[in-house]
Amino acid sequence: MESLTINTRKRTELIDITAQVARLVEKSGIRSGVCILYVPHTTAGITINESYDPDVTEDITALLNRLVPPDRSYRHTEGNADAHIKSVLVGCSLVIPVEDHRLTLGRWQGIFFCEFDGPRTRECRVKIISDQK
């Protein structure tokens, strides 16, 4: 298992980690298999979405902030209840097929680490499994 360290700068942001994950897949040497990504945080997540236009990630974070605003009267009183809810909505893991030594992402797709309680130093765990014997 490998681990990526991600330093976030804002309370809520989506950070494109596609290149780092692709390098780990290439470094692993596997031809075919899966890449499993897991975020071990309760106020962060991981997703796949368009990586070409940065307005997409801004739209996503803006909508999540409108759907789950930070200034509501939540029962969890640490000041980050909204971040826990956003993490549940987005999810904390992905499985991406690997073929011909590469992630099989679509043309416009990228992998995004989703910060909902930053800025912080975060981790994304990466497990690459070959289906070759």
**In the structure encoding, which two tokens stand for residue 78, read together?**
């640490």
Q: Alpha helix (H) ranges present in the chain?
A: 18-28, 54-67, 81-90
Q: What is the pLDDT of residues 91-124, one digit of tens each?
A: 999 999 999 999 999 999 999 999 999 999 999 9
Please tell me the pTM assigned to this model. Answer: 0.96
Average pLDDT rounded to a whole number, residues 74-100: 96
End-to-end CA distance of the chain: 19
CATH, residue 42: 2.60.120.460
Q: For position 132, what pLDDT does the model report?
A: 79
Could you give the number of structural domains in the chain? 1
Task: Provide the 10 A C-beta neighbour count for residue 71.
Answer: 7
Q: State which residues form the domain around 110.
A: 2-130
Q: What is the pLDDT of residues 12-46, one digit of tens each?
A: 999 999 999 999 999 999 999 999 999 999 999 99
| Calpha distance 130→133 (Å, rounded) | 8
| Calpha distance 133→131 (Å, rounded) | 7
